[in-house]
Chain A
Amino acid sequence: MPVDTLDRSRVLSSHFGPLESLLAATGDANLHAWRRANLERFNALGLPTTKDEEFKYFVAPRLNEVKWQLAHGANVYRSHLPKGLISKLETTTLALVNGQIAPELDVLANLPKGVILCGLEEAITNHPELVNQYLGKSATLDGRLGSTNDERFTYLNSAYLADGLFLFVPKSVTLDIPVQLLSVIDAHQGPIAVYPRILIVAEENSEVQIVERHVGINGEYLNVPVTELFVGQGARVEYTRIQTETPEAIHIAGVYASQHGQSVLETHTASFGASASRLDLNIDVLGEYAETWMNGCYVARGEQLVDCHTRLDHRVPNCQSFEVYKGVIDDHGTGVFNGKIFVYEDAQKTDAKQTNQVILLSPTATINTKPQLEIFADDVKCTHGATVGKIRDDALFYMQSRGIPENEARDLLIYAFAAEVIEAIDTPGVTEALEEMLFEKLSK
């Protein structure tokens, strides 16, 4: 590795020393040893370059150029937040600002008995066994198939593990109101690095709808969030993740779900913001007769880069998965889609479908798309398809001929393209909110 790259990586590692005593104060010695181990693993790799297979298309020069500072608190009030979801959804909201809990943004409804919704630090203190049982357990690909697994940013997040958000839904409990997990970043005082951690546990036969939002308010920053999601036997979880970082931000995220037998997990990810964003969505299917949905919508305009990696491990027989990712790339934007599906030797009768569809709105827009199915079982149904298209001229003219102005017609056609993904969301109010965000994004 070139020396300067190592040096740059040290910018991010260098915060650990001054912060260490503070970090160590949260949790026991084991947890802290785990932090240190993660730091070492990150240090061994440093920041990625485009020579690293998993970051081949992740071109984000600012990641190396900026001298990121340690995150500090900021005062963010509800009036600072962009309109949309918050007012529309009658959710229960738990919030972070710059990685720290932000009670002023919380909206806490009465939750059924046994449900825990609190800051991660608080959970580590008050529910140590529970946290211990789940933290760090989903967020690892150690020992998994694949020769290019690259989790360096997850290591980095784990090294700095302190506060975050924790949601626990006990066995057989149904949450009627969706829960919003909100991470807000305000970097008006200079470029900061933030490592939010979210831990969600839905025990067996529980039901919950979760909306995780990453909202940028000001400035340039590096956001490296990690979410772990445990879906117990027979549980039903709808997880929607909406990323609207500032146009200057870099967002590098890992979402890891472990899914047990007969459970249904629907994930919806929307990536709209940041100058460069990366999302690795990893779903590990551990029990039979589980059903997994992976819907994604990503938009890149201007000079934006949106990089979506998904990974699905079908380890056991008789599971179904449906994946649809839709990308809209305009101007000089770049989209990346890499969809891995591993079907293990034992996973007979797996039924997996993957689709990635992209529309390019300008001749200078780029898409790199790579389906990657690795199948080791013989009695399976696996399909994948990728299409790249543009706005259909005939449809555009048809709409114009009915009086709809060209811009509006174009937006409507783009929305129609994304609708399959956006309209699949059952959590009340989210489809409408995303629709609004998409139109706003397109009109800029």
Chain B
Amino acid sequence: MLTIRNLEAGTADKPILKGVSLTVNKGEVHAIMGPNGSGKSTLASVLAGKPGYEVTGGTVEFEGKDLLDLDPEERAGEGVFLAFQYPVEIPGVSNTYFLRSAYNAIRKYRGESEMDALKFMSYIKSKTKFLELDNELLSRSVNEGFSGGEKKRNEIFQMAVLEPKLAILDETDSGLDIDALKLVSNGVNALRSPERAMLVITHYQRLLNYIVPDFVHVLVDGRIVKSGGKELALELEEKGYGWIEEQAKAGV
């Protein structure tokens, strides 16, 4: 589904990703861990098409298409979804209106007919129930004045509504209390299917107890320095990143 080969990217004056390679197949969940500043969010941003990053090398293929060649909205149309580490507030645009615009824009991109407001309301009601999202949040401006946890839940809610093929979750667990973490994980797990894949960026093994990954990768200084199964996350939890950084430096 997603093939990243030797991806090098950064800002105009700073290389951040220094050759990332990763293959994600349908149905798989990959966790990406790594120290602060190692480039996890940058990887997510580059995949979603955030302006401000320059790709200086490598390729990204998504479902047979050159992902890097597409505008952000086209990537969404193709089925890529990024749950932001820091969701953006948009005063004046209601959550519902925003979501319906997004939902219909994606349908349009796929050559499908738009869904009218009434149908859409009942469609999203089913999703809010699942995430126990307060209906009041739907009529409020996107993320404006939402608590940290509400913002994160709203991201997952959007994901549930848009039903992407590839979901990239950037630290969706940070700022969630234990109950919310379960809700969000349930929401994510409900979307797991043989047709979908997920890239879960996190610092904590705790999330991976709920969303059990097929693979765990460790990103250090812009490179994936170690990959393994879910037990790698446990090992990291116990030992930290020091030993991996050492190994990486030693060229092991």
Contacts and interface: CB of A to CB of B under 8 A. Distances in A.
A403 B106 contact: yes
A400 B76 contact: yes
Of A394, A403, A406, the most chain B CB neighbours within 10 A belong to A403
A56 to B, nearest CB: 32
A403 B162 contact: yes
B73 interface: yes
B72 A397 contact: yes
A403 B77 CA distance: 6
A416 B50 CA distance: 22
Interface in A352-410: 392-395, 397-406, 408-409
B121 interface: no
Given A400-B72, A400-B76, A405 B88 contact: no
A417 interface: yes
Contacts, number: 80
A400 B71 contact: yes
Contact of A413 (B72, B77, B93): B93
A419 interface: yes
Interface in B19-77: 48-51, 71-73, 75-77
Interface in B74-94: 75-77, 81-82, 84, 87-93
B123 interface: no
Contact of A403 (B84, B88, B105, B141): B105
B162 A397 contact: no
Contact of B90 (A401, A408, A416): A416
Contacts of A401: 48-50, 72-73, 75-76, 81-82, 84
Nearest to A423: B92
B101 to A, nearest CB: 5
Interface of B: 48-51, 71-73, 75-77, 81-82, 84, 87-93, 98-99, 101-103, 105-106, 109, 141, 158, 162
Given A394-B88, A395-B89, A402-B76, 13 more contacts: A398-B88, A401-B76, A401-B82, A401-B84, A403-B77, A403-B106, A404-B101, A404-B105, A406-B71, A408-B101, A412-B93, A412-B98, A420-B92
23 contacts: A393-B51, A394-B88, A395-B88, A395-B90, A397-B49, A397-B88, A399-B90, A399-B98, A399-B101, A400-B73, A400-B76, A401-B73, A401-B76, A401-B84, A403-B162, A404-B102, A405-B71, A412-B93, A413-B93, A415-B92, A417-B92, A419-B92, A420-B92
